[in-house]
Structure 1
Amino acid sequence: MIKAIDIFSGCGGVSKGLTMEGFQVVCAIEIESDAVSTFKSQKCFKKCTVLNKDIHDVSGTEIFEILDLKTNELYLLAGCPPCQKFSYQNRGRKLIPEEERKELLFQFLRIIEEIKPPFILMENVPGILSKDNKKILDEFIDRLRNRKNNYKIEYGILNAADYGVPQSRKRFVLHAVRKDIDEILNQYGYDFKLPEASHSMDGADGNCKWRTVKDAIGDLPPLKAGQLYEDEAIKNHKSSNLSDKNINKMKKIRRGGGTRTCLPKEDVLPCHKKHSGHKDVYGIMDFNKPAPTITGGCLSYSKGRFGHPIDNRAISIREAARLQTFPDDFLFSNSTTKAGLQIGNAVPIDLVRASAREIKKSIQLVEKNFQ
């Protein structure tokens, strides 16, 4: 198996995607204790060393000791530096000092420079490419490309829906390969790149059609708000509680087309009367389209278009996990607050798998050179 390291691993979304494509995640690093507990509870990660530490306190030497590498062994470093300070949704990002915005990204770079991994996978929010953050990203990429580090870089904005995820979610994805490895790939005529899309909106280009909310969760049994489905065959099928007032509001929104703009004046919150944006709040998902972006608030009806398409409730933990393409054997706490945050902060599994397959092709070609 090809070894991999997962930095800023969260509950294990990237690690799960890599594992499903044949990688062996030997080391994961995450500061949040609840996310580490979820990670460690998964059977597929039993052989992974998980460091519940601040990245500032982790050294490349420590990681190398965990890896136990053989001569010429190929491995992957994956990392998703926390991205809230780069996000378009963070209205105050312009006020955050540059040094603060770049801190965790450059801790990731420090680890890269200390262990010189042959392959790198990084994911972040599209806002990292914004004008406000361009200087930071340019410095990061320039450092990767310089003579000291010498990486070939491919990056871009990918929509998870184009890779089989039943969700419209755009992410910044970066693949990197050390130049000495890329030279071997060139001998085989192989172009190191980002993964090609497998799905499209209507499938007219020969790809599969985008997967919909119904494709992902349509077979799950109905629930009431606040209910936990008791059958052991389906884990984490639990929804957050809703007040009678919000359930009645939801019924009106459902009849009016799915968005809160249809509500009569007496049902509109004072903050919504003053602010016309964020119209997805109190919205209902469309069964026949991909879901909107699943965020850390995805289990709260008041935090986005997270209303169930049929039932008068927010989506359940298991439904949110499926919309992020977590398999059903990946288990979370039944705390909707903890689970929602972990699921929403994860990279969609099938988007990770697309990158993993592309990088694995390169690794398998290079392995021939070492045999």
Structure 2
Amino acid sequence: MSATFIDLFSGAGLFSAGMIRAGFKPLLAVELAGDAAASYRRNVSDCIVNASVTDLTKIPRADVIIAGPPCQGFSTLGRRDPTDERNELSLSVLSWVKAAKPQVVVIENVPPFIASTHWQKLKRSLEALNFNVAVWELEAADFGTPQRRKRAFTVASKRAPCVAPRGRGRHVPAGDVLFDPARPLRTDDPMHIWPEPKGIAAERMPLIPLRGDRRDIIASAPELCPPSWFKIGCNATDAWGRMDADEPANTIRCTFQNPSKGRYLHPRQDRVLSLREGARLQDVPDDWVFEGRPYPVARQIGNGVPIKLAAAVARRISAHLT
């Protein structure tokens, strides 16, 4: 029989998809955002419950719990606010562990989470429940994802400490999935959409060469630049950056359809990435269609664990359990 798992803070289900690829069976997934829960139901499994993880009381037994609690209070890309009330949600996993009695617990988050007082409390509590706790800091590009994305996995096991998976050698460039001749992007794909550049954005984009960024706009058309750009100087060089198709993409954030938020301009066209292109950079199959308006869909994509990375973690957990 397949080992079973529960997915907490499941989002649209990318981590679950990796678990399923490794042979695990989903018993229950819990997600508060309605659009993300609908995407999970459409693309992964109907075991999803649209609710807060703190609201459910009927908790089944499972071999593994995976969880991706909110990272905004820990991420260096945000305010990194230790008082952010969402930080407390990471500790809500403990009540699920006590009820479901899993053999392994995997909590995924940004690397700074490991340095937080919340993580220290979580680690002590898991050890008090007789878990051996290990930390894996993994780079998604090392596991075949065409994107650089470092994530921290807290892996607690009732057995011996679980050893991290080893990555592969070759990194996959973004162009391999953006321009795959075996998978041409379809014009009728409801996910292959992007905000059409207008006004000053449409004037700026043609001025940015391959691997270029806002510094090229400053040099060639300073009249198109706000005063803040000149004050910032050489900082935030990925803003208004054009993606290099010959390298893994930068981290796909929730705001990847906003050129001011990173290196998200298409390598060959004067536009940002489409939702489908962002999904491909997260290893999402083209038969997935996310539910919701464009920004909530981009958020679902950017919040997910790249599926190939999730599958590598899941295969290592599966080997540990056998």
Compute the TM-score of the two structures, normalised by the length of structure 1.
0.80
Which of the residues 350, 355, 370 maps onto 2:313? 355
Which of the residues 123, 135, 156 maps onto 1:155? 135
User: Are 1:249 and 2:204 matched, yes or no?
Assistant: yes
1:213 shift after superposition: 0.6
Which of the residues 214, 224, 242 maps onto 1:260? 214
Does the Cα contact within 8 Å between 1:9 and 1:30 map onto a contact in 2? Answer: yes
Identity of aligned residues (%): 32
| 2: CA distance, partners of 1:16 / 1:301 | 29
| Map 1:97-176 → 2, pairs under 5 A | 97=83, 100=85, 102-130=87-115, 133=116, 135-146=117-128, 149-176=129-156
1:194 shift after superposition: 1.4
Does the Cα contact within 8 Å between 2:104 and 2:156 map onto a contact in 1? Answer: yes
1:247 shift after superposition: 2.4
Task: Give the partner amino acid of 2:19.
Answer: L
Match of 1:83 in 2: 71
**Larger helix percent:** 1
3-state DSSP class of the match of 2:73?
helix
Does the Cα contact within 8 Å between 2:76 and 2:112 map onto a contact in 1? Answer: yes
Per-residue deviation, residues 232-259 of structure 1 (Å, max 9, x unmatched): xx5521122211431221111127x511
Match of 2:231 in 1: 274
Greater Cα radius of gyration, structure 1 or 2: 1
3-state DSSP class of the match of 1:273?
helix
Does the Cα contact within 8 Å between 2:88 and 2:118 map onto a contact in 1? Answer: no
Match of 1:36 in 2: 37
| 2: CA distance, partners of 1:41 / 1:136 | 33
Compare 109-118 and 214-223 and name the one that shifted more.
Answer: 214-223
Per-residue deviation, residues 334-354 of structure 1 (Å, max 9, x unmatched): 732121110001111111000
Task: Give the partner amino acid of 1:124.
Answer: N
Distance 1:250 1:309, change over 3 A: same
Which of the residues 179, 183, 194 maps onto 2:164? 194
Which of the residues 43, 54, 57 maps onto 1:56? 54
In structure 2, stretches of 5+ residues that fail to align are none
1:261 shift after superposition: 0.9
Per-residue deviation, residues 164-217 of structure 1 (Å, max 9, x unmatched): 1111111111222114xx4xxxxxxxx73111112xxxxxxxx3x100111121
Per-residue deviation, residues 117-157 of structure 1 (Å, max 9, x unmatched): 11111110011134xx2x322221111112xx100111132
3-state DSSP class of the match of 2:59?
helix
User: Are 1:21 and 2:22 matched, yes or no?
Assistant: yes
Per-residue deviation, residues 8-44 of structure 1 (Å, max 9, x unmatched): 00011111111122111110000001111111112x4
Task: Give the partner amino acid of 2:28.
Answer: C
**Count of aligned pairs:** 316
| 2: CA distance, partners of 1:63 / 1:309 | 47
Does the Cα contact within 8 Å between 1:235 and 1:328 map onto a contact in 2? Answer: no
| 2: CA distance, partners of 1:312 / 1:249 | 9
| 1: CA distance, partners of 2:190 / 2:139 | 28
Match of 1:187 in 2: none
Compute the TM-score of the two structures, normalised by the length of structure 2.
0.91
| 1: CA distance, partners of 2:97 / 2:114 | 21
Distance 1:287 1:124, change over 3 A: same
In structure 1, stretches of 5+ residues that fail to align are 183-190, 199-206, 224-228, 366-371
Does the Cα contact within 8 Å between 1:166 and 1:216 map onto a contact in 2? Answer: yes
RMSD in angstroms over aligned alpha carbons?
2.1
Task: Give the partner amino acid of 2:198.
Answer: S
Does the Cα contact within 8 Å between 1:317 and 1:334 map onto a contact in 2? Answer: no
With a CA cutoff of 8 Å and minimum separation of 6, indicate the structure with the bigger relative contact order: 2
